[in-house]
Each structure stands twice: as structure tokens, then as C-alpha cells.
Structure 1
Amino acid sequence: MYKWLAIILSCILLIVGIGGCVYSKAKAPIKKARVAAEERLKKETDIKDVDEFYLYNGSSTYYAVIGKNSKGQEMAAWIPANKKEKVHVKKMSDGVSKQDALNKLLSEKKPKEVLGVRLGMEKELPVWELSYLDENSNLNYYYIHFDSGKWWRKIENL
């Protein structure tokens, strides 16, 4: 009886260990991107503390962060993966908050489930990208201008 219990517990521990290893390996590129983005951020901007990090893959890859500058102001920065392009920085107070973007989606669409909300950059335009499932479980993307809070683009029924 105790042999079976030991075998079962050993198998469970082995599965959990392998799962943790796979998860860690899968997250490694994102951690590496965050470290590189924060190094560039500290060299090229006044943002000192990073509170949120987003990886955005649109027409180009951007690392977007929300953090505080040396004056304590909440700032947003869009760091292009292409190191030749410049970093864009804006005050969060000059744009739409994550919650306001989410509220706009909830008022205009009736999502079954919101999958994610992230900052991104499209054609030099800072945007909030909201991904969600509709009532038919279709994947949808809804983009809102960071500056104005107006709808920019939507991709529906994927």
C-alpha cells in the first residue's frame, strides 16, 4: 500500500518538476526582452521604476512599459525592438488609462471574456490593444488610441 502511495507521489512530483522547467524555459525570452528594454529605458529616458511591462507584436515589435520618472510622475514608454528607432515617452496623464480603455471596450462590445490589455505602437501611433472572446468564442482585437481614447481599428471573428 505504501509502495503505491510513494510511486504515485513520485510521479506527481516528477510531473510538477517537468512542468515548472518547461514554464521557466518558455518565459525566458520575455524576461530577457524585459531586461534589455529596461536597460535601454534607463539610458535613454528619465523613467526610473518600471511597474508594468508589455510585449507587443504588431506591425513591429515594441516593449511598452509604465513606470515613474525621477519626479514621481507616471510615464509610458514604447521601446522598439529595432535598436535604431527612438524610444517614445508620454505622460500617462496625457493619455487613456488601461481601465478607461477596458471600460470603452465593455461599453461598446459585450465580450464573453477579456483575454488581455496591452500597450502597443502601430505606425508611430500609441495604442491600447484589447483582445477578447465574443459570445461565440471568436477571438477579437480592439484598438484604442492612447492619446484620444477613440477607436482606431478592430479585427473581429478570428
Structure 2
Amino acid sequence: MKKWIKLGIGLLIIVAIAISILLYFSIQPYKDKEDLAFSVALEKSGLESAEDFEWFRYKEEYYIVTGNNRAGEEMIVWIDTENLNIVAEHKASEGITKEEVIQSFKEEWDISEVIDIKLGYADKRPLWELTFIDDSKRYTFLQVSFLTGDWIRYYQYSQGGVSS
């Protein structure tokens, strides 16, 4: 009986180590991208500090870094991952907020559940991408201009595939 207990504990330890290693290697690429984006943003933009990182993929990939400039104003920097150039840099106050995006489209798009909202970049302009489920149970991606709040494009998926 003691052998079975020792064997069980040994297997649990091996499984815990394997899960830890798997988690480490699955998170590390994201962390490497975050470190690279922070260093590029601090070197090439007006950011004095880098605090938040997002990784956006549409047709191309972009890193988005949020931080503060020397005056303490919140800034957002969009970085092209291919050549590590800054493609846009704005004070957060120059654009609309997450809350404004959700509020302005909540009734127009019959949003029943917000899944995610994140900064992005497409067609040479910074944007918000709002992901939600509408009242018809469609999964919708809505891209909204960061600067004007106008919607740019949307995609909807129902159980059968793309619906718009």
C-alpha cells in the first residue's frame, strides 16, 4: 500500500513539473515580444515609462504600448512588428476610450455580451477592436477608429460561419 502512495505522489510531482515547464514555454514568446515592444517604444517614442502591452494581428502584426511621457500624460504607441518602426503615437486623451466605444455601439449593434476590447492598427490608422456577442447570438468583431470613433469594418460569425 505504501508503494502505491509513493508512486502516486511521485507521479503527481512529475505531472506538476511537466505542467510548469509547458506553461513557461507557452508564456515565454509573449513575454519576449512584450520586452522587445517596451524597449522599442522607450527608445523611439516620447514614452518615459512603458506599462501595458498588446499584440494585435489583422493583416499585419503590431505591438501597442501604453505608458506615460515626461509630462505624465498617458500615451499610446503603435509599433510595426516587421521593421520595429513607430507607425502612430497619440496621447490617450486624443482618442476615444474603451467605455466610449462600448457605450456608443451598445444599442446600435444589440450587444448582449462584450467579450474583449483592445487597441489595434489596420489600414494605416489606430483603432479599437470590440469583440462581442449580439442578441442574435452572432460573434462580432467591430473595428472602430481610435481618433474619431467611427466604425471601420466588422465581421460576424454565426454557427454556420461568416454571416457578414
User: Which of the five TM-score ranges fits, normalised by the shorter chain?
Assistant: 0.7 to 0.9
Identity %: 21
Distance 2:10 2:137 in 1: 38
DSSP 3-state at the match of 2:111: coil
1:24 aligns with 2:27: no
Higher strand share: 2
Once the 2 structures are TM-superposed, how far is the Cα of residue 84 of structure 1 from its aligned partner?
A: 6.5
2:155 is matched with 155
DSSP 3-state at the match of 1:66: strand
Larger radius of gyration: 2
Any idea what the Cα deviations from partners look like across 1:12-70, whole Å, max 9, x if unmatched?
Answer: 33222212211211122211111111111111112122221100011111000111111
1:110 aligns with 2:118: no
Residue 111 of structure 2 contacts residue 132 of structure 2 at CA under 8 Å; is this kept in 1? no
1:126 and 1:11, CA in 2 relative to 1: closer, same or farther beyond 3 A? same
Residue 112 of structure 1 contacts residue 137 of structure 1 at CA under 8 Å; is this kept in 2? no
DSSP 3-state at the match of 1:27: helix
Distance 2:154 2:67 in 1: 28
**Alignment length (residue pairs):** 157
TM-score by length of 2: 0.82
In angstroms, what is the RMSD of aligned CA positions?
2.3
Any idea what the Cα deviations from partners look like across 1:90-114, whole Å, max 9, x if unmatched?
Answer: 0100101123223445443324451
Distance 1:144 1:131 in 2: 11
Residue 44 of structure 1 contacts residue 87 of structure 1 at CA under 8 Å; is this kept in 2? no
Instruction: Kindly indicate whether structure 1 or structure 2 has the higher relative contact order, using CA contacts under 8 Å at least 6 residues apart.
Output: 1
1:99 is matched with 99
Unaligned runs of 5+ in 2: none
Distance 1:117 1:81 in 2: 21
Q: Which range moves more in the overlay, 84-93 or 144-153?
A: 84-93
